[in-house]
Amino acid sequence: MASKRAVQLSLKMPTHAVCVVGVAAHVDVRSDVPKGANSFRVSGSSGVEIFMVYNRTHVTKPIGKARWPLDTDADMVVSVGTASKELRDFKVRVSYYGEQEDQALGHSMLYLTGVDISLEVDTGRTGKVKRSQGDKKTWRWGPEGYGAILLVNCDRDNHRSTEPDLTHSWLMSLADLQDMSPMVLSCNGPDKLFDSHKLVLNMPVSDSKRMRVFCARGGNSLSDYKQVLGPQRLSYEVERQSGEQEIRFYVEGLTFPDADFLGLVSLSVSLVDTGSLPEVTLFTDTVGFRMAPWIMTPNTQPPEELYVCSVTDTHGSNEKFLEDMSYLTLKANCKLIICPRVENRNDRWIQDEMEFGYIEAPHKSFPVVFDSPRNRGLKDFPYKRILGPDFGYVTREIPLSGPSSLDSFGNLDVSPPVTVGSMEYPLGRILIGSSFPKSGGRQMARVVRNFLKAQQVQAPVELYSDWLSVGHVDEFLTFVPTSDQKGFRLLLASPSACLKLFQEKKEEGYGEAAQFDGLKHQAKISINEMLADRHLQRDNLHAQKCIDWNRNVLKRELGLAESDIVDIPQLFFLKNFYAEAFFPDMVNMVVLDKYLGIPKPYGPIINGRCCLEEKVQSLLEPLGLHCIFIDDYLSYHELQGEIHCGTNVRRKPFPFKWWNMVP
């Protein structure tokens, strides 16, 4: 931006001014004029552009050799196209004339020194810093948008450190520079100009805890990168060296968007005249950034790693379950990572402990694990074992009170991309369980909900999960990928579908077929007995009403039709007014592309096959999915969890770039 002050001309002595390349400078041609003068004419040397600014409806432009009247409402503006090689090498001459005279009554000389000052960032979001002639301060969403992006430097690139890179005020590794956004300061002009002028880099006080700036001096050692701006350091006088035309900086993001931070920050550089008292700022250039949001990935994204815990309990180890997970990952061409007992402290609920996501800028992307505030046996695993080079970490702690079950991340999910009316959600929508529509009850901590909402790109939807004993959304819903135009289906646990199936089997003459057939540690119960059990019927009528309430919310908020939903047979029972799965909860599955690791329900055996498994296969396999039923009864189901609760999947990021959406 140019200074609002106009350059004052003088008849007695030449005027000297600094002109920033590409920035118009206003010139006051009326402050000192010869007596009797009523018009003026302007000329300039090569490299100077001179133009008059006026209202065409009120002012007529002079024709030919005619001069500009002094009393007309027109302002003179000059600019230069290149930086000067020497001081005052651009010239502008203003000649003043009287009413009848062709001889000038006097002249004013303006000597300009051109200087190229510009702060450049990746405004065009190409991954490269290019010179921009547009608005660099404003940030715009959408495919036609613009504005630079910062990554929160939340990974740990140096193996000697135990903390995320952003906790250090100095550079720990040259690889760390890749996690920062480059910024270039153009400072081309005569060296002598900078004897009486300085360049000052500034950041607002409100942004000082959000980012740091490092100055690069071209070397390959850590000492060549100096922190110049950040917390407790709001300004930096640029150390320009003789002949230097560009200075490189790296900008580091420190905090994610949150309830108290919209995600926007800015930096500016000012050209300051130190030869006057007080010092005068001649020009300021400002650039804006948006902090990259943390983005969740739905089941429809290809899997890259499956995490599972090795544990031991009164029934022994879960070694067979681990073997089943190994088989599943082999089929899905996905890497298996087993968290050993020494690291999980016999806490098997790895889905509850953390959620995988990622952050992305045009020049770099890396996964980031969101550590839940549940803080049980696995509490150190995300920080100590997952945080590392190009693998970030973020968490939110609950102030003043402990977490509830709804703060575990089995209660956190995300839909595939959806369109709701005219509103597109190309990265899907986050789903969290709450006590709504009940008054009171349990809900996810506000600090976590605020964080998720502040990311803006996956607008959260609150569902009703407090009817469940554990209270997690993964107990009654999941998403699976399909190869048709829709691309996915929502699976909902359905007591009514289960009871309908059992009624059909009874009418076919299989009423004595028993649930839990084949299980040593669980008493069998026949189809006839289940259908005759009034308490079980009542409990599942209640469960179905709760699920139907969520069904309507999901249809409305995700733009789903009934054909997009598949009802998976499932029964529940109430214990102390809260529901638990009556048999292994099949929607609580792990989804690895088209391979589904489904809790084995141990349903009634009819003609040599489990009727529940057969029903689920008939629903899902026509969609191109492969159902693999896995025994989790003793190691997970009896502890009020299932396969999804005991596993966690890191998935590939979306190909869609978040900055191209419009929240």
Active site residues: 352, 472, 474, 645
Q: Which residues contact 480 (CB under 8 A, 6 or more apart)?
A: 299, 300, 488, 489, 491, 591, 596, 620, 623, 625
Q: Which residues contact 179 (CB under 8 A, 6 or more apart)?
A: 151, 153, 155, 157, 165, 252, 364, 366, 390
The Cα–Cα gap between 10 and 356 comes to 68
Residue 41 bridge partners (DSSP)? 95
DSSP string, 544-594: HHHHHHHHHHHHHHHT--GGGEEEEE--EEEETTEEEESS--TTS-EEETT
Residues in the chain: 663
Residue 629 bridge partners (DSSP)? 598
Residue 654 DSSP class? P
The count of other CB atoms within 10 Å of the CB of residue 652 is 12
Quote the strand ranges of 146-207, DSSP E. 148-150, 181-188, 197-202
C-beta of residue 69 within 8 angstroms of C-beta of residue 38: yes
Residue 598 bridge partners (DSSP)? 629
The Cα–Cα gap between 298 and 413 comes to 7
Query: Which tokens hold the place of 652?
Result: 């590939």
The Cα–Cα gap between 659 and 147 comes to 9
Phi and psi at 554, nearest 5°, equal -65, -40
Q: Is 530 helix (H, G, I), strand (E, B) or coil?
A: helix
In the chain the first and final C-alpha atoms are separated, in Å, by 30
Question: From the CA atom positions of the chain, what is the Rg in Å?
Answer: 34
DSSP string, 4-61: SSPEEP-SSS-EEEEEETT--EEEESSSS--TT--EEEEEE-TTEEEEEEE-TTT-PP
C-beta of residue 573 within 8 angstroms of C-beta of residue 579: yes
The Cα–Cα gap between 4 and 568 comes to 69
Q: Is 485 helix (H, G, I), strand (E, B) or coil?
A: coil
Q: Which residues contact 27 (CB under 8 A, 6 or more apart)?
A: 6, 7, 9, 76, 77, 78, 92, 94, 110
The Cα–Cα gap between 248 and 184 comes to 5
